[in-house]
Amino acid sequence: MVTLTDLKEALREVLGFGAGEIGREALRTTLREELDLHDGFFWTNYLTIGLDGFFYGRTWNLDNTESAVIPSDYWKQITNAVLSDGEYRSPSTVRGVDIGTRRIFPYGVAAFRTKLPTLTADGQYVRMGFRNDSGDGQGTANLFWTRIAGVEHLLFQAGGAFYHNTVYIDAALPADAKTVRHIYTIIVTKAQAELYIDDALVAVMINASGLNFTNKAYPPYAVSPANTTFTPHMVAAITVTGQGVELIHPIAPSNTRISQGDPLPPRMYRLYEEYTSTLLAGKEMLAGSVSSHAVPIFGYPTKTLYFRANQSGSIYVQMLTETDTYRTYNTTVEDRIVTADELYSYTILGAGVIARIRFTPDAYPCTISEAEMVMNQ
């Protein structure tokens, strides 16, 4: 591998400060290698350049100052096996340790396959995801595992301008989270930040300032305003804070993946009954109406609803307004007619933040066979 000394010598040659042995082509190759190596963090990166070539390290000291440190002094790969536990240690000599990427990732995607540690004191926490340095300045989007008043909690946080919103998603925590590795994925787009656990969406933070609606709780997933706009270009980081008590997070570098993502990736939301884990598709209705859970549509130009039931009826596409009230969007009667056993589709042309549907069949029993929202650019 080309060394930093080689790179400097090549730069000197290109700038006319003397001849070197590498030459311009080697310089281009060197720069390309460096860019490729830092384009994302994968197992090969660790084996090639190690932690210290990819991450910075910082300690939060007992006197509340901060110091630059070497990441590999605190985060270890125990064995060179991908499916293994690691050791990320916050020693008793500091409040916490923060390890973050040297590179900023536009529209980042980070996946952490890990167990969660037992927290023994209030104020301890593990934070995994994205942010822009200490204090979260321009942005943050993180899973936050912490202990408050003697109880451990799983939270999702996102926001900017040194301020973020928090949603509690304790009900989404796997029962065996401390003994079995689960996959925690954070995705940042220009429209929102998303948290997945084992590929299931559990929380969404909408990236806009001034939104005025209450958190739409999990299950099936939480939807909340971030309160302040966050930049979608952030470093990926993991923080382990023991508050002066040793805390070991068993995450391994081999189970950490970080890369750049898509500014506005296509999304397909299967519609659930509001505040439940029951899909509308397959639901049998014996009376009344049914409402879907909130669907975050902010920032997506194209939003198309697909629905089908074995009874005719009326479907209302509703938009959440800034009074925190759902208002009917498809006000034309013809746009609300569902014909039995035929696929109904409706495209939302206008902009919005959150949408849902409300369906009332003309007869019972009624079984819904399709219910989904497809969104793209």
User: What angle do helix axes 23-37 and 4-14 make, rounded to 10 degrees?
Assistant: 130
Residue 303 pLDDT exceeds 80: yes
Cis peptide before 106 (omega within 30 of 0): no
Q: Burial level of 341, CB count in 10 A (0-12/13-18/19+)?
A: exposed
Q: Domain 267-376 classified CATH 3.30.9.10?
A: no
Q: Per-residue pLDDT averaged across 86-96, rounded?
A: 98
State how far the Cα of 77 lies from the Cα of 250, in Å rounded to an integer. Answer: 10
| CATH 2.60.120.200 boundaries in the chain | 39-260
| CATH 2.60.120.380 boundaries in the chain | 267-376
State how far the Cα of 308 lies from the Cα of 366, in Å rounded to an integer. Answer: 11
Residue 29 pLDDT exceeds 60: no
**Third-level CATH fold of 39-260:** Jelly Rolls (2.60.120)
Nearest CA to 165 among 123, 205, 124?
205
Per-residue model confidence as pLDDT tens digits over 123-178: 999 999 999 865 556 789 999 999 999 999 999 999 876 778 999 999 999 999 99
Q: What per-residue confidence (pLDDT) applies to 142?
A: 95
* Amino acid at residue number 234: M
Q: Which region among 35-44, 82-91, 361-370 has the lowest average model confidence (pLDDT)?
A: 35-44
Residues 6 or more apart whose CB falls under 8 angstroms from that of 237 comprise: 98, 99, 100, 101, 127, 128, 129, 130, 131
Q: What per-residue confidence (pLDDT) applies to 24?
A: 59
Concatenated DSSP letters of 101-128: ESS-EETEEEEEEE--PPP-STT-EEEE
Per-residue model confidence as pLDDT tens digits over 208-258: 888 889 999 999 999 999 988 899 999 999 999 999 999 999 999 999 999
Per-residue model confidence as pLDDT tens digits over 186-205: 999 999 999 999 999 999 99
Per-residue model confidence as pLDDT tens digits over 352-376: 999 999 999 999 999 999 999 999 9
Strand partners, 140: 131, 159
Q: What per-residue confidence (pLDDT) applies to 34?
A: 55
State how far the Cα of 284 lies from the Cα of 366, in Å rounded to an integer. Answer: 6
Q: What per-residue confidence (pLDDT) applies to 209?
A: 85
Label residue 52 by pLDDT band (50, 70, 90): very high
Strand partners, 235: 131
What is the signed CA dihedral for 309, 202, 264, 192, rounded to 10 degrees?
120
Residue 21 pLDDT exceeds 90: no
The answer to whether residues 253 and 87 touch, using CB atoms and an 8 Å cutoff, is no
Average pLDDT, the chain: 91
Q: What per-residue confidence (pLDDT) applies to 250?
A: 98
13 compared with 194, residue with greater pLDDT: 194
State how far the Cα of 202 lies from the Cα of 230, in Å rounded to an integer. Answer: 20
Residue 223 CB-half CA count within 13 A? 23
The answer to whether residues 5 and 224 touch, using CB atoms and an 8 Å cutoff, is no
Strand partners, 131: 140, 235
Cis peptide before 219 (omega within 30 of 0): yes
Measured in degrees and rounded to the nearest 5, phi and psi for residue 32 equal -65, -40
Q: What per-residue confidence (pLDDT) applies to 49?
A: 86
pTM of the model: 0.89
Here the tokens at position 218 are: 């999990």
